[in-house]
Structures are given as structure tokens and as C-alpha cells.
Chain A
Amino acid sequence: KNQVEQSPQSLIILEGKNCTLQCNYTVSPFSNLRWYKQDTGRGPVSLTIMTFSENTKSNGRYTATLDADTKQSSLHITASQLSDSASYICVVSDRGSTLGRLYFGRGTQLTVWP
């Protein structure tokens, strides 16, 4: 069964600190992995997209890594800000159809305290 598991479920850090969020998946055949940021009551906004040939991708203070062999990804946030408080969702796409089926994790709820 194609699944995407994220950990931790929730995380609280102090402003200025770094943190790392984890994503494990069983989706096959693998096409790409995306990290999204979703503010409360809003739609997800794309942070990074990585194909199987990429093992790291940065977007400002966000750096995603991908190990396609172990089917693991991480999202590292550097020097956190209050505005980073949101849910971070890992999304994996398969290559099985033209639809490019997306499999969603439940997200990690990050709270940044001042």
C-alpha cells in the first residue's frame, strides 16, 4: 500500500532555532517528492520538489533532502521565524499514470515560540 508517514506529528521550537522534519514513504514507482507549507485555514504552498535523481534542494531557509534508496526525506528549517509556524506536508507522486497521483502525509505541525 502506498503510504507517506511524517514525524514528529507536532513540534515546538524557539525562534531562531533549527529543526528537522522527517518523511518516510512506500510509494512505488516513485516520481517526485514535494514539501508544502500550509498555514492554518489556507491551502498548501510549495516549498521544494525533488525527483529521484536529486538528493537535496534548497529554498531560502528551507532545505530538503531525499534518499530514494531508503525512501526517506527530511526538511530542515534554519534560523526559525514566528512565520514558520504552520503544518509541513510531505507529498509523494507516483509514475503510474498521467494523473501523477499524489500521496499526502498528515503533516508535522510546527509551532515557533518567541
Chain B
Amino acid sequence: EADIYQTPRYLVIGTGKKITLECSQTMGHDKMYWYQQDPGMELHLIHYSYGVNSTEKGDLSSESTVSRIRTEHFPLTLESARPSHTSQYLCASSESLPRRSTGTYGYTFGSGTRLTVV
């Protein structure tokens, strides 16, 4: 079972509103990520964090902002929502050290927030 939680699962909001999408993980992972996914399309990285007080922009330009004040919490904020922000937003986290057996990092996704801006 995933130990990474996103709220809300669904959100319909009016243009111009400020929103915050919540993401929390209980695995103690240092690295966390936000992805944006449109139907039938690949996931695009919009923000990532290596740890507390570390945030970076991803490959896809986004008007959203993130913060990382606590290890377990990585919220995403849109100051003024627009219809173009309508999408699914997925939060993920990855292990800090590679697994000894494979040398790979475990990667866990949340269930996502489906955002609709009207």
C-alpha cells in the first residue's frame, strides 16, 4: 500500500481562486516530486525537492509554486487558477538510498488530484 497521500482527490474551482494541493508521505523520503498528467499523455515533471528547504522547477513550465518546510509535506499552490490549469496532478517520493539488491531507487506515487478550473 502506498504511504503517500494527496488531498483533495477531486477539486472543481472557479477562475482566479487560490488553491493548495496537499501531499504527505510517511516513508521518510528526502526526494519528492510533482507531476502533471493530461488524459492519454505522459507525466511531466513540474517541481521537485531534494529535502527540506530545497525546491526546483521541473521540465514543464508551471505557474504553480511549492514549498518544503517539513520532510513529509510537499504542498503545491496555484495563486490564481485558470482553465488551462485543468489537469491531474500527481505527487511522488523516492528513497534516499539505492536498494542494495538492484541499485535502484524505490519510487512511490500518490493517487493524484484531479483539478478542474471553470
Chain A contributes a number of interface residues (CB within 8 A of B) equal to 24
In the complex formed, the residue of A with least CB distance to B92 is A43
Q: Is the CB of A99 within 8 A of B48?
A: yes
Report the Cα distance A44→B25, complex, angstroms: 16
Report the Cα distance A61→B55, complex, angstroms: 39
Q: Is the CB of A100 within 8 A of B105?
A: yes
In the complex formed, the residue of A with least CB distance to B48 is A99
Report the Cα distance A56→B76, complex, angstroms: 38
Which of chain B's residues have a CB closer than 8 A to the CB of A109?
40
Q: Is the CB of A106 within 8 A of B90?
A: no
Chain B CB within 8 A of A45 CB: yes
Which of chain B's residues have a CB closer than 8 A to the CB of A32?
102-104
Q: Given the known A-B contacts A32-B102, A51-B102, are A106 and B40 also in contact in the complex, defined by CB atoms under 8 Å?
A: yes
Which of chain A's residues have a CB closer than 8 A to the CB of B31?
99
Q: Is the CB of A102 within 8 A of B109?
A: no
Distance in Å: Cβ of A23 to nearest Cβ of chain B: 12
Which of chain B's residues have a CB closer than 8 A to the CB of A34?
107
- Identify A41's interface contact among B92, B108, B114, CB under 8 A: B114
A-B contact pairs, 24 of them (CB 8 A): A34-B107, A41-B9, A41-B88, A41-B111, A41-B114, A43-B2, A43-B109, A43-B110, A43-B111, A43-B112, A45-B2, A45-B109, A46-B106, A46-B108, A49-B104, A51-B102, A51-B103, A89-B42, A93-B104, A99-B48, A99-B50, A102-B45, A102-B107, A106-B41
